[in-house]
Chain A
Amino acid sequence: MSSTAEKKGVDDALATPHTHVGAPIVRITALRKSYGDNEVLKGIDLDVMRGEVIAIIGKSGSGKSTLLRCINGLEAFQQGSLTVDGKPLLYESAMAMRELRQRVGMIFQSFNLFPHLSVGRNVMLAPRLVQKKESQQNAARARQLLARVGLADKFDALPDQLSGGQQQRVAIARALAMDPAVMLCDEITSALDPELVGEVLRVVESLANEGMTLLMVTHEMSFARKVANRVIFMDQGRVHETGSPEAIFGNPQTPELRQFLSSLND
């Protein structure tokens, strides 16, 4: 499964972002977002380096999913700025938004596969429509990506015929087909039966090992500890504490984080 960037397009390798390794690929500056009077993000500053794997943890309602959804423009923010792989987020321009979304893949808690299309067509739809990819090349790429997530034999199956874990792996292949520079994972194992969590996390881990930049909102603390380079603890719309997994889980500094971590062990 290991491969290098030079072989891109020939095998199942990931795309090469414009940003250099170790340079910031996502820059979030003083970002504020509110729903009416309710401010849910109260000034977020965050630089994500290329190849970095970031786990965002926190109570529900702390704004972690909202932050993730701001990065690909599913949520609009009122103040601050955000760039992805050198492209700024401009809500006014539908073109700029589509350009940006081609750089950002997103995987959802509820999979959101297109139920009327076969697995293969789910994966091929966006490259065909958005990148105008030639159909044979597109199909070959879809088969590679499905093989990569362990579902080579499901090309013609319908999403309804798959287990939750399989559906989520198709969703990962579908996002990868657009060659994103950054991948956003929004509680991607929360809707899965416990025995299916592992197969999805293994795929995510393989992406991390190959240098994909990952931002994941997760409740899987052991996974965050194992895979993440940096853990961000959010509380009440702010980045409350940030650090290496060892520091965050082993030596929490603030009472809020200590309380959150101890609540998980109850």
Chain B
Amino acid sequence: MIEFSLWDIVSNLAQAARWTVLLSLIAFTGGGIVGLLLLVLRLSGQRWLERAIAAYVQVFQGTPLLMQLFLLYFGIALLGVDTSAWVAASIALTLHASAYLTEIWRGCVESIPRGQWEASRSLALSFGQQLTHVILPQALKIAVPPTVGFLVQVIKGTALASVIGFVELTKAGGMISNVTYEPLLVYGCVALIYFALCFPISLYAGILERKFNVVHR
């Protein structure tokens, strides 16, 4: 049997953590793009679009992320498309993040006083101009802290991708603990790495929140 030193364990986990970071970035960026698109559609004033997007948000908020991963992984396969754990995890997490982000951002946009919409409309600005020059720049300030905070949720959410066989931090931890028979040590290290990734972001979100609160009074 091969002996694993602590260094071996940590370096292996660190390599797997790269995939956690990459998957988080894909989910966060993809979710951000899709979420922004959904937000704009939702604000455009079409009743049926608003309802459809609200339903989309409810579906993703009302079911466990684990089920979403399973359904996507096996669902895509059923359609006859050969899919990897990579693709399934990226898509599932992107959709999941988009639902949450669009809802967070909708709240931010709704907190902008109605008078801002009315004043910009009275000045003959188009819907797109209202959004890009008046509403979104103000909503962005409010949106930064909760958005950064949500990034932490995404990072922790990637752990679930391990169940469909995607080798990221959690999955690697499981594999290593299987050969070292030291689950407590290995999972302790896994948890520490997650914490090392998430804590600075949480800290940063807190700083941003205080900073913007001061500006807004």
Contacts and interface: CB of A to CB of B under 8 A. Distances in A.
Interface of A: 72-74, 94, 98-99, 101-102, 104-106, 108, 110, 112-116, 125-126, 129-130, 171, 174-175, 178
B138 A98 contact: no
A126 B125 contact: yes
A112 B124 contact: no
Contact of B133 (A112, A113, A129): A129
B214 to A, nearest CB: 13
Contact of B121 (A101, A110, A129, A174): A101
A116 to B, nearest CB: 5
B124 A102 contact: yes
Interface centre among B122, B125, B133, B134 (most CB of A within 10 A): B122
Top 3 A-B residue pairs of the complex, sorted by shortest distance between their CB atoms: A112-B119, A126-B123, A112-B115
B122 A129 contact: no
Contacts of A72: 122
Contact of B123 (A94, A101, A110, A115): A101
Contacts of A108: 115, 118-119
A174 B123 CA distance: 9
Contacts of A126: 120, 123-125
A190 to B, nearest CB: 14
B213 to A, nearest CB: 15
24 contacts: A73-B121, A74-B118, A94-B127, A98-B124, A101-B122, A104-B122, A108-B119, A110-B113, A110-B115, A112-B113, A112-B118, A112-B119, A113-B119, A114-B119, A114-B134, A115-B138, A125-B123, A126-B120, A126-B124, A130-B124, A130-B125, A171-B119, A175-B123, A178-B123
Nearest to B216: A115
B116 interface: yes
A175 B119 CA distance: 9
A114 B131 CA distance: 12
Contacts of B137: 116
Interface residues of B, number: 19
Contacts, number: 61
Nearest to A100: B124
Nearest to A125: B133
Interface in B9-28: none
Contacts of B126: 94, 98
Nearest to A114: B134
B116 A112 contact: yes
Contacts of A130: 123-125, 129
Contacts of B120: 114, 126
Interface string B97-131: 00000000000000001011011111111110100
A260 B133 CA distance: 43
Nearest to A102: B124
A106 B119 CA distance: 8
A73 to B, nearest CB: 8
Nearest to A131: B124
Given A114-B116, A129-B133, A74 B125 contact: no
A101 B124 contact: yes
B76 to A, nearest CB: 40
A126 B138 CA distance: 17
A125 B119 CA distance: 12
Nearest to A74: B118
Nearest to A126: B123
Contacts of B138: 114-116
Nearest to A103: B124
Contacts of A175: 122-123
B142 to A, nearest CB: 11
B127 to A, nearest CB: 8
Given A101-B122, A125-B125, A130-B125, 18 more contacts: A74-B122, A98-B125, A101-B123, A104-B122, A106-B119, A106-B122, A112-B113, A112-B115, A112-B119, A113-B119, A114-B119, A116-B141, A125-B123, A125-B133, A126-B120, A126-B124, A130-B129, A178-B123
A243 B208 CA distance: 58
A74 B124 contact: no
